[in-house]
Amino acid sequence: MVFNSAKVFDSMNRNNFEMPPGVVTTGNLLDVLQGFVHELRAAGLPVSMTENLDAMRAVEYISMEDRESFKAVLAATLVKHHQHWPAFDTVFEVYFARWSPGVDGDEGSDSSNDDRESPEGGGAGKQPGGGGGGEGVSNEDLAKMLMQALMKSDDEMLRNIAAMAVSRFAGMEPGRPVGGTYYLYRTLRQLDLDGVAEKMMSTSREARDAPDDALAERLASDDHKMKIKKFKEMVEEEIRRRLIADRGVEAMARTLRKPLPEDVEFMHASREEMLQLQRAIEPLTRALAARLAQRRKRRRRGQLDFRRTVRHSLSYGGVPLEPKFRNPRPSKPEIMVIADISGSVASFARFTLQFVYAMAGQFSKVRSWVFIDGIDEVTRFFEESDEITEAVQRVNSEADVIWVDGHSDYGHAFEIFGQRHMSEITKKTTVIILGDARNNYHATQATVLKEIRERSRKLFWLNPEPRGYWNTGDSVVGDYGIYCDGVFECRNLRQLETFVSSSFEV
């Protein structure tokens, strides 16, 4: 399979992509790849022009019939981080769902696959009965065919049975806005795969010389589970293929698109997404710390020392061959973090505190406070705990942050902070406030922030709410923002990384 370089560059300029009605073939593969890359970018994966071209060159050496190798080659050229693999896997399965293994790659092969590509055909051209739902084949016969195919590991027959089962049991209707999970549930419920597994175990037991062999029983059970899992994936693939044929590949890609861990919003993350965020923090902070350290290394030289340069140039006849520079002042800032931990904002504060303390080596000193309507310094928890996660848990359970009723009162919290700690702020201190600034209509005490700004090196506010929600209802972020060096929307790890990388010039 050889591609013309002119066609490769021409395909890079096509912004609109439409999936052809047939299977993926050599003639339209470049168009499919281009649409595939566009969707990866839409999902958040950073795919450059060079990587796009690398992928197109790499697939010249891979047979389209070898789906797993084809997928691995695309992943090797387009995916940079293991946490991006689930998003890549979803997009690949959508864009190449209509590519049936075993296609010979000819342009004219589309007509030979009409039955399989039709949502009504269900791949029944090779099945007994000839119809899309396997007319003439009873449910009992279908169950027997399924068990035999599973026992023999006959992938081709299993694909045909999967297509027949979807046609018969899923009840798919063109244009109906129903997710694939619903159709998958209906199909698997009718197939009764648990009953099929029991029959397979019984058959295996009867075929063994020693039916009571515990090890053989376990191995057979694991083998049957793997086969049934593979068949479920075939059914899911068949449903996905038909949904794409009905709705279009781009619509399905948008429907199945899931945010990358760094794009998951702190305030709306599920339990599973919270765990992904937890795992993403450490490698992200390592990379960011390395970037800041490299920037510091490049800036070791201070400003030009004109007097020393002229004096030294006398040994060269007055020619300044060796410029002299002043030694730069230490640039690591002191950090004070003041975080609202009320309600849903607590998850944002928790991850931001973890992020800051994971990067503590980039700052000369880190201190932190948390508040609701009362305020408490929690630096001690991080100093006493070896694990940042443990420290954050102690913050949530032990911090004294309730003053009256446990509803956010930014004004009172800032007032108490100013009375206790204002004298500790210096021109080396960068103060970061975390919160949505929803003050429950209490007094703002914004003048405290004015004094903090006058005393500090920088004052930043990070808000986890979308910018469109600011200054609506009881939000008073505008009253506080006029005294800040910057108010940043910070709803996910990507935005948090961008803030730290751009704001802490070293």
Q: What is the pLDDT of residue 454?
A: 94
Q: Is pLDDT of 451 > 90? A: yes
Q: Is pLDDT of 432 > 60? A: yes
pLDDT digits (tens, 9 = 90+) for 369-419: 999 989 999 998 888 877 777 888 888 788 888 887 788 999 999 999 999
Element (H, E) at 267: none
* Whole-number average pLDDT of the chain: 77
Element (H, E) at 487: strand 486-489
CB atoms within 10 A of CB 144: 14
* Per-residue tokens: 367: 């201190």
Residue holding tokens 């702020």? Answer: 425
Length of the chain: 506
From CA 261, how far away is CA 498, in angstroms rounded? 15
Per-residue pLDDT averaged across 222-241, rounded? 84
Burial class (CB in 10 A: 0-12, 13-18, 19+), 205: middle
From CA 424, how far away is CA 367, in angstroms rounded? 11
The structural domains of the chain, with segments of one domain joined by +, span 5-95, 122-242, 271-303+333-503
Residues 6+ apart with CB under 8 A from 424: none
Q: What is the pLDDT of residue 199?
A: 84
Scanning 59-179, the segments in alpha helix (DSSP H) are 67-78, 85-95, 114-117, 139-152, 155-165
> Collapsing DSSP states into helix, strand and coil, what is residue 504?
coil
* Under 8 Å between Cβ of 334 and 431: no
pLDDT bucket at 255, cuts 50 / 70 / 90:
low
Q: What is the pLDDT of residue 97?
A: 66
From CA 324, how far away is CA 47, in angstroms rounded? 43
Residues 6+ apart with CB under 8 A from 20: 28, 31, 110
**Choices 3.50.50.60, 3.90.1150.10, 2.102.10.10, 3.40.50.410: CATH for 271-303+333-503:** 3.40.50.410
CA angle (29, 35, 37) in 5-degree steps: 100
> Collapsing DSSP states into helix, strand and coil, what is residue 363?
coil
CB atoms within 10 A of CB 67: 16
Q: Is pLDDT of 170 > 60? A: yes
CB atoms within 10 A of CB 173: 9
Q: Is pLDDT of 8 > 50? A: no
Q: What are phi and psi of 488, to 5 degrees?
A: -115, 135
Q: What is the pLDDT of residue 122?
A: 40
Per-residue pLDDT averaged across 256-261, rounded? 71
From CA 297, how far away is CA 332, in angstroms rounded? 12
Q: Is pLDDT of 25 > 50? A: no
Q: What is the pLDDT of residue 295?
A: 64
String of DSSP letters for 37-75: HHHHHHTT----HHHHHHHHHHGGGS-TT-HHHHHHHHH
Q: Which residues are registered as beta bridge partners of 334? A: 365, 429
pLDDT digits (tens, 9 = 90+) for 462-502: 999 999 999 999 999 999 999 999 999 998 888 888 888 77
* Per-residue tokens: 135: 């007319």
- Amino acid identity at 74: L
From CA 87, how far away is CA 44, in angstroms rounded? 9
Q: Is pLDDT of 211 > 90? A: no
> Collapsing DSSP states into helix, strand and coil, what is residue 430?
strand
* Per-residue tokens: 1: 């399979």
How far CA 270 is from CA of 180, 261, 264, 275, in Å, comes to: 21, 11, 9, 9
